[in-house]
């Protein structure tokens, strides 16, 4: 079975993820044990704090260093992406195309957790799709369940203006298990991701989450997430031939 983890913080020393190369390799080993064959490194980019050129240089250097250390080892393939924090007017910004996932037209987008999801935010997400020709992947949508405007966000997903992922940790966390199940059953979830940051505090839980989904919602529900993962992996492989 192939499985693509679309959201991780495994690059060393670029954000609040892996603190060094050794941690990066250990996380890759843990992902491999969970049948993850491919992973996208998605370091945080905060437009109001980070310089794009410096960020890209730092990320590429960390990626190249990691590739050197893993050369010849039986570990998941690593691709580059970014977890881009939302900013007002993002739907009109051509510059965000440089942050897409591994040469595809998918963009991993993080929304603020402590602010209402207002109509202009929803319109920005629509514009990312319609004006810029990108497919927004809304990161860990289970985190926004209590945010005002959440139902409108789900409607936007239903309308096909964006897709979304849930975190594996959110599936196994008792506080968000039921919400994740409702999101899966409602057809709002395209991907399952680890969002792993570290070996101990935020390790990957892909296998545990897939097993739990299969146990509680049926094997077909877990298989749908695997199929979506494989389909995106095929697009990435085609873009990187």
pLDDT on residue 113: 86
Residue 172: per-residue pLDDT: 97
DSSP element (H, E) containing 107: strand 106-110
pLDDT band at 9 (very low <50, low <70, confident <90, very high): very high
| Mean pLDDT, rounded, for 14-24 | 97
Task: Name the band, by pLDDT with cuts 50, 70 and 90, for residue 18.
Answer: very high
pLDDT at 239: 92
Q: What is the pLDDT of residues 85-113, one digit of tens each?
A: 999 999 999 999 999 999 999 999 999 98
Domain residue spans of the chain: 4-239
Supply the pLDDT for residue 114.
Answer: 84
pLDDT digits (tens, 9 = 90+) for 51-73: 999 999 999 999 999 999 999 99
Q: What DSSP element (H or E) covers 58? A: helix 52-70
174 CB neighbour count, 10 Å cutoff = 6
In percent, how much of the chain has pLDDT > 90?
Answer: 97
pLDDT in tens, 108-148: 999 998 899 999 999 999 999 999 999 999 999 999 999 99
Q: In 71-176, which ranges are continuous DSSP H helix?
A: 119-130, 150-158, 168-172
Euclidean distance between CA atoms 141 and 128, whole angstroms = 18
Above 90 in pLDDT, residue 16?
yes
Phi/psi for 70 (5° steps) reads: -100, 0
Q: Taking residues 215-231, report their average pLDDT.
A: 97
Superfamily of domain 4-239: Metal-dependent hydrolases (3.20.20.140)
Residue 97 near residue 57 (C-beta atoms within 8 A): no
β-partners of residue 164 are 138
* For helices 177-185 and 219-239, angle between their N-to-C axes, nearest 10 degrees: 70
Closest CA to 127 of 163, 89, 159: 89
Q: What is the mean pLDDT of residues 6-28?
A: 98
The arithmetic mean of pLDDT across residues 16-37, rounded, is 98
Q: In what order do the strands lie in the sheet with 77-80?
A: 4-8, 38-41, 77-80
Q: Tell me what pLDDT residue 89 has.
A: 97
Average pLDDT, the chain: 97
Phi first, then psi: give them for residue 18, nearest 5 degrees: -55, 130
Tokens of 108: 């991993």
Residue 209 burial (C-beta neighbours within 10 Å; 0-12, 13-18, 19+): buried
- pLDDT at residue 183 greater than cutoff 80: yes
Please give the structure tokens belonging to residue 161.
Answer: 């203006």
1: pLDDT strictly greater than 80: no
């Amino acid at each position: 079975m192939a499985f693509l983890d679309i959201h991780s913080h495994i690059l060393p020393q670029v954000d609040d993820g892996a603190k060094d190369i050794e941690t990066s390799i250990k996380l890759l080993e843990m992902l491999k044990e969970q049948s993850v064959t491919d992973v996208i490194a998605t370091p945080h980019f905060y437009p109001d704090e980070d310089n794009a050129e410096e960020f890209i240089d730092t990320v590429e250097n960390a990626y190249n260093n990691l590739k050197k250390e893993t050369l010849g080892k039986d570990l998941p393939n690593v691709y580059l992406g970014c977890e881009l924090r939302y900013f007002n007017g993002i739907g009109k910004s051509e510059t965000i195309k440089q942050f897409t996932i591994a040469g595809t037209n998918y963009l991993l987008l993080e929304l603020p957790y402590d602010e209402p999801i207002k109509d202009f935010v929803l319109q920005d997400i629509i514009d990312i799709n319609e004006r810029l020709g990108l497919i927004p992947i809304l990161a860990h949508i289970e985190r926004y369940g209590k945010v005002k405007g959440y139902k409108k966000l789900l409607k936007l997903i239903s309308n096909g203006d964006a897709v979304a992922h849930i975190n594996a940790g959110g599936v196994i966390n008792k506080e968000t298990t039921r919400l994740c199940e409702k999101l899966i059953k409602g057809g709002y979830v395209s991907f399952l991701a680890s969002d792993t940051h570290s070996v101990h505090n935020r390790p990957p839980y892909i296998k545990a989450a897939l097993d739990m989904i299969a146990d509680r919602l049926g094997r077909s529900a877990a298989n749908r997430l695997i199929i979506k993962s494989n389909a995106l992996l095929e697009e990435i492989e085609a873009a990187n031939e």
